[in-house]
Structure 1
Amino acid sequence: MTYNESSFRVLKGLEPVRSRPGMYTRTDSPAHIVQEVIDNAADEALAGHAKRIHVAAFRDGSISVTDDGRGIPVGLHPTENVPVVVLAYTVLHAGGKFDKTSGASAYAFSGGLHGVGVAVTTALSTRVEVEVRRDGRITQVTFSDGGREVGDLVDTGPCGKQTGTRVRVWPDSKYFDAPRAPLAELERLLRSKAVLLPGIAVTLDVEQADGQFARTEWQYRDGLTGYLKEMAGGVEPLAPVFAGERYAGQDEDFAPGEGAAWAFAWFDGYAGSESYVNLIPTVAGGTHESGLRGGVFEAVKAFVEHHALLPRGVKLQQEDVCGKMSFLLSARILDPQFQGQVKEKLNSREAVKLVSTRVTPIFEAWLNQNVEQGKAIAELAIRQAQSRLRDAQKVEKKKSSGVAVLPGKLSDCESEDIADNEIYLVEGDSAGGSAKLARNRETQAILPLRGKVQNAWEIDPDRLFANAEIHDVAVALGVDPHAPEAPDSVLANLRYGKVVIMADADVDGSHIQTLLLTLFLRHFPRLVDSGHVFVALPPLYRVDVPASGKKRPARRFYCLDERELAAVRDRMEKEGIKPEALEVGRFKGLGEMNPDQLKETAMDPATRRVLPVSVESEALVATRELFDLLMGKGEASSRRAWMEAKGNLVEADL
């Protein structure tokens, strides 16, 4: 294959559009090339020269657009020596919307500055008919075969004082996935033009199978506010719709007339949003939307700070305020710059400042004049911020290749039969070491816990795994946190039939035991309901009794508390053993027990004392209320009153 001077091809006229239509318009349907014609009519209305826009959709797939504006000039262009109407429909980069520097062009505010416009419509249509009423005469011209054939201008007679333009387009189906412009999209476009052009009558006629036309008319007296309420489907906003408009004057940083009109509100259900630049729908948003959100955010932020509404530790972000805000925005910009030929997104950087400086002072003043409504908006934003913070703090299980990683400090058992195996949650590494030596490796697993487990009564489930000890407990058990009404399937991956809490027999041990029971009752209730949770009862005292004769060898007793110790002493005294002969030892903790002692008292099923944990159904509400009282962070005063009333019932080992 040769590559030389003849390899280069120059595309002239409208050939670039026909060769690469996707660079200039949407190719899913002809909707955009029809919109180009409608936008021209809307520009005439925006400039104050048209009062009516009429669109007709015919059964043959063609669409006509008629306005009562000034009419496209039909005279010769002073330098091109071609009728202006022909230039508009056949030449790229030709139009009456380029001289924008002074705002004194034919269209100070129009749809954009791509320079392709309605010429794209001609390029992708089999036929375009244009009829102009201007200067008392009716002039017609026809473009065929994608603009390759241009008919002569024909004067068809007088029109009196009537002015305007009528354009009928037959889209060429070979360029589009669907041959017809979707009627629903066409209706949305025309309805929006009626909303954005107060006083303009917009009509759509659709030809039916019998040749009659079904007519729809739009004319919004309430403008943006009425349209936004219609979009919300009758749902009432949390605060009244805030609507307004503001345009630059002679002595401002922007050109006279630049600015925006808006309507926005917050609904329980998102009602959707739409934005426009010089009446062109910007479905992908852009810098004008950024300006609106920024302006609203600054106003709400100032209101919140002024009224000291923000809780400690919460910082508002723009998404907190604007995430659920529905809005309509219509910006007027002298020289808009868009991304892409279909003008879906505004890129003009100055639009951010233009819109935000219009919105912020007006909305901030409204908030401070309507404090209750302002607080409703602020509270919604604060709730969103708190939810965002909770989501940001959400901690997942540590995983490797999609499988939860068992804690490194877990000494697992060999059995996988939960009818036999059990896990001991042991207070401290020292006790954990003794428990590892005392256990039955076949059926007993040991998980040492360092320090006290966090009080989990009021922790959000998504934040549980931020605590290393709770994370390790959940991973070792194979059960995720769940609600009381969760199905039995939440225990499908449970790795142990018994979960045994083993802590020291002192005040600290009781506290650790209570914290673990709090964790299970609040976040793993199905474990408790199904009878999988137990509490080991290690002794506080050891009593060694010396031998007395051949028939009475030395003996050892373990006592849970002072009451059991007193009972052993009484029994030995009745047997004739002197009190001073008894050797009484107190365990400061599980770590002081040797493995044999720990096995005998707390781990050997034949000799240990272990209590099952359960909550009777009739006592469930009372139990949860008691845990609320004892473990709730905001219950300090109630807790104090409870302790003062019940303190005499405590047998404290101090």
Structure 2
Amino acid sequence: MTYNESSFRVLKGLEPVRSRPGMYTRTDSPAHIIQEVIDNAADEALAGFAKKIQVTMYRDGSVAVGDDGRGIPVGLHPVEKVPVVVLAYTVLHAGGKFDKTSGASAYAFSGGLHGVGVAVTTALSSRVEVEVKREGKVHQVQFNNGGREIGEIAETGSCGRQSGTRVRVWPDPKYFDTPKVPLAEIERLLRSKAVLLPGVTVTLEVEQTDGSLAKSEWHYAEGLTGYLREMAAGAEPLVPILAGESYAQAHEDFAEGEGAAWAFCWFDGFAASESYVNLIPTVNGGMHESGLRGGIFEALKSFVDLHALLPRGVKLQQDDVCGKMSFLLSARLLDPQFQGQVKEKLNSREAVKLVSTMVMPQFEAWLNQNVEMGKTIAELAISQAQSRLKSAKKVEKKKSSGVSVLPGKLADCESENIVDNELYLVEGDSAGGSAKLARNRETQAILPLRGKVQNAWEIDTDRLFANAEIHDISVALGVDPHPVDAPESVLDHLRYGKVVIMADADVDGSHIQTLLLTLFLRHFPLLVAHSHVHVALPPLYRVDVPASGKKRPARRLYCLDERELAAVRERLAKEGIKPEALEIGRFKGLGEMNPEQLRETAMDPATRRVLPITMDDIALEDTKELFCLLMGKGEASGRRAWMEAKGNLVEADL
């Protein structure tokens, strides 16, 4: 096959979405591309300009979404010279939700800044019709064939003082596993919008076989409390549902208006939760949920200490308090950062402190005003802690025979519950010292490694312990080397649920990671197969952002590599922050980080980045073949040929 200049292809417009739809949306059904349209209507309501959201599902598979908001502008964009409504539906990275801090944005709070939004809906639909009521006139425009055909904007009538937008979408079946929009998912989404938007009426109409419309309408007089009670479906609450909300004022540490509303409770036999950010459902949770749990845990822990309720030898952990708790959380962030375009998980680290700061004082005050009910919650948490400790003692009893002497340089954790315990294998003594100060002594152990671990790919098992570092790792873990077909009983004495490799974000650090992964894959394969092995991803850059007015205090951001640094610079530039105002520092290694920075970026479960290492049975032989090529002593010529063929793909930090 010829590879020359003509082989290079540039995807323009919406072609990237049509070529790789899975990178931009869910492809199991069109639910998410419909949600993008609903979210636009909800953003109008969140901004205070819409009081009605109406969704109609037709028998031909199309879905219409209408609101009585301001209506999308139909005039020409001052720079692009294209109608704004056309830009919104056909251009990626275009919208009215940027420039939030400069005051030029049309929305103070909205569902994210990934910049693709409803343009993905157009790209994956056979037809999209948009009707806009604005400034006394009705305009219509149509997009066909995935946005390849754009109709003219036509003025079709007058609307008096009415305003709003109605969008009808025909999803293209060829992009989805099933072309049918799931009714239950849309109902659940609309019901949550009604809960989270006080004063807004949310309606769903479904066309029946006889052409009539079956109508559902949602209204929750009690807001989050009523919704949580409905979710519990009659389960008995152990204490009354606790609800509250709090938003930052202009003089506080957060942007004005940022904050959260919540409702939580402990039910008998029921535990389910939902969370949202700017009305976007975050089905995989994220930092705001970590903040809620952290605030509730700290408040209850203070209450327990104040009243001396904790039995001797028992220490509360967050999961003891929150493991069986049900909650609803609606966070409001000025500039949320999500994981992926589907926005199923919130990645904004500042949300941990934001939500925790809002929740903790209110819950702590309630506990002290309702001491008996507070004691009921405390007793439930203490009971969970005692069950956990009892389970841990059983594990200890199984491994009590033949225990080796633990390495002297191991800073062990206090907990004996292997589900929670983590062992950090840290490159270098200096980084190991910082890690010891940064760790959670209850559940995190530190084992510093001196230099690089020996390449163990071709070492026989009976010679493996001649290397002191490998010996210490095996003894600390409580697991002996074993083959891939060993029985699972070899993990009976495992002392940590997670083994986290933490090395510098440079070439040497990558080499150490590779050597340790070689050791685990070759001699401890069941640790990899059962997802016990993880790799920490410490940042290479620190970006100090100055305060910009009352809305945005000073921030400290971390970037994994050059690509993230470039993305952060671009995002901050859009916020109106001058490049010369940024202070950018490059970490030469983990030892340069102070304990607080190391805790935030690599060790705190709420904010760290840790990559799990998994073993795919299908690709196992290919993996072994590649490791033989890379790590085998007799493969020098093969490695050279491989590097000559693949060397251009390496992103090396030299």
TM-score (norm 2): 0.60
Q: How does 1:29-428 map to 2 (within 5 A)?
A: 29-102=29-102, 105-395=105-395
| Distance (whole Å) between structure 2 residues aligned to residue 395 and residue 378 of structure 1 | 26
Amino acid paired to 2:217: E
Measure the CA separation in 2 of the matches of 1:330 and 1:163. Answer: 28
CA contact 1:103–1:334 (8 Å) conserved in 2: no
**CA contact 1:103–1:255 (8 Å) conserved in 2:** no
1:337-395 deviation line (CA, Å, top 9, x unaligned): 00001000000010000000000011100000000110111100001111111111223
Looking at structure 2, the residues matched to 321 and 397 of structure 1 have their Cα atoms a distance apart, in angstroms, of 26
Q: 1:224-280: CA deviations, max 9, x gaps? A: 000000000122211111100000001011110000000000111224100000000
Query: How far did residue 165 of structure 1 move?
Result: 0.2
Matched residue count = 401
Supply the distance in 1 between the matched residues of 2:105 and 2:122 (Cα, whole angstroms). Answer: 24
Q: Deviation per CA, 1:443-462, whole angstroms, max 9, x where unpaired? A: xxxxxxxxxxxxxxxxxxxx
In 2, the alpha carbon distance for the partners of 1:112 and 1:364 equals: 32
> What SS class does the counterpart of residue 70 from structure 1 fall into?
coil
* Structure 1 residue 2: Cα displacement: 2.5
User: How far is 1:103 from its partner?
Assistant: 5.5
Query: Contact 2:235 / 2:270 at 8 angstroms: preserved in 1?
Result: no
Q: 1:30 to 1:352 in 2, by over 3 A?
A: same
1:40 counterpart letter in structure 2: N
In the other structure, the counterpart of 2:4 is 4
- Partners of 1:29 and 1:362 lie apart in 2 by 41
Using the alignment, how far apart are the partners of 2:279 and 2:296 within structure 1? 22
State whether residues 199 and 221 of structure 1, in contact with CA within 8 Å, keep that contact through their aligned partners in structure 2: no
SS in 1 for 2:146: helix
> Cα deviation per residue 1:410-458 (whole Å; 9 max; x = unaligned)?
xxxxxxxxxxxxxxxxxxxxxxxxxxxxxxxxxxxxxxxxxxxxxxxxx
Structure 1 consecutive aligned stretches of length 4 or more whose deviation exceeds 6 Å: 396-399
Aligned AA for 1:5? E
Distance in 1 between residues matched to 2:396 and 2:369, nearest whole Å: 45
Residue 116 of structure 1, CA deviation? 0.4
Amino acid at match of 1:67: D
Secondary structure of the residue aligned to 1:395 is helix
2:97–2:110 contact (8 Å) kept in structure 1: yes
Deviation at 1:99, TM superposition (A): 1.1
Letter paired with 1:256: E
Q: Deviations over 1:287-343 (max 9, x none)?
A: 000000000000000000001000000000000000011000000000000000100
State how far apart, in whole Å, the 1-side matches of 2:394 and 2:56 are: 55
For residues 286 and 58 of structure 1, the distance between their equivalents in structure 2, rounded to whole angstroms, comes to 35
Distance 1:272 1:195 in 2: 17
- State how far apart, in whole Å, the 1-side matches of 2:223 and 2:127 are: 36
- The equivalent of 2:519 in structure 1 is none
Tell me, in whole angstroms, the C-alpha distance in 2 between the residues paired with 1:48 and 1:398: 61
Give the counterpart letter for 1:338 in structure 2: F
CA distance in 1, matches of 2:27, 2:168: 20
Q: Is 2:16 aligned against 1:16? A: yes
Whole-angstrom CA distance in 1 between matches of 2:383 and 2:89: 54
Larger radius of gyration: 1
> Residue 398 and residue 387 in structure 1: after superposition, are their counterparts in 2 closer, same or farther (change >3 A)?
closer
Whichever residue aligns with residue 281 of structure 2, its letter is P
Q: Structure 1 residues 242 and 92 mapped into 2: Cα distance closer, same or farther (>3 Å)?
A: same
Change (3 A) 1:361 1:2: same
Secondary structure at 2:60's aligned position in 1?
coil
Aligned counterparts of 2:175 and 2:227: Cα–Cα separation in 1:
34
| Alpha carbons of structure 1 residues 83 and 294: separation in structure 2 relative to 1, 3 Å | same
Any gaps of 5 or more consecutive residues in structure 1? 406-654
The Cα of 1:4 is off from its aligned counterpart by: 2.4
Mapped partners of 2:196, 2:290: distance in 1: 20
Tell me the amino acid that sits aligned with residue 345 of structure 2: K
Name the aligned partner's letter for residue 129 of structure 1.
Answer: E
Distance 1:128 1:168 in 2: 6
Name the stretch that deviates more: 124-133 or 3-12.
Answer: 3-12
SS in 2 for 1:139: strand
Q: Counterpart of 1:63 in structure 2: which amino acid?
A: V
The letter for the 2-side match of 1:207 is: E
Kept after mapping to 2: 8 A contact 1:231/1:271? no
Matched position secondary structure for 1:147: coil
Question: Which residue is 2:627 aligned to?
Answer: none
Q: Distance in 2 between matches of 1:103 and 1:287?
A: 26
In structure 1, what residue type is equivalent to 2:123? A
Cα distance in 2, alignment partners of residues 77 and 132 from structure 1: 16
1:115 Cα offset (Å): 0.3
Aligned AA (1:321) = V
C-alpha distance in structure 2 between counterparts of 1:261 and 1:398, whole Å = 46
Distance 2:396 2:298 in 1: 34
Equivalents in 2 of 1:366, 1:219: separation in Å?
28
**Structure 2 equivalent of residue 491 of structure 1:** none
CA distance 1:177–1:304, shift in 2 (3 Å): same
Give the 3 Å change call, closer, same or farther, for CA 260–103 of structure 1 in structure 2. farther
2:563 alignment partner in structure 1: none
- CA change 1:102–1:245 in 2 (3 A) is farther
Cα drift, residue 398 of structure 1: 6.3
Unaligned stretches of 5+ residues in structure 2: 403-654
Give the whole-Å Cα distance in 2 for the aligned partners of 1:244 and 1:382: 25
Fraction of identical pairs, as percent: 80
Q: Contact conserved, 2:276 with 2:330, CA < 8 A, in 1?
A: yes
CA distance in 1, matches of 2:103, 2:236: 40
Structure 2 counterpart of 1:565: none
What SS is found at the alignment partner of 2:174? helix
Looking at structure 1, the residues matched to 45 and 392 of structure 2 have their Cα atoms a distance apart, in angstroms, of 49
Q: Secondary structure at the match of 2:33?
A: helix
Partners of 2:27 and 2:392 lie apart in 1 by 41
Equivalent-residue separation in structure 2 for 1:365 and 1:348 (angstroms): 28
Deviation at 1:3, TM superposition (A): 2.4
2:43 counterpart SS class:
helix
CA contact (8 A) 2:282 2:343 kept: yes
CA distance in 1 between partners of 2:256 and 2:320 (Å): 34
- Contact in 2 for aligned 1:140/1:154 (Cα 8 Å): yes
- Write the distance in 1 (CA, Å) between the matches of 2:328 and 2:104: 28
Counterpart amino acid of 1:349? R
Q: Distance in 2 between matches of 1:211 and 1:185?
A: 23
Distance 2:139 2:398 in 1: 76
- Aligned equivalents of 2:343, 2:27: Cα separation in 1: 14
Where does 1:254-653 land on structure 2 (aligned, <5 Å)? Answer: 254-395=254-395
Counterpart of 1:575? Answer: none
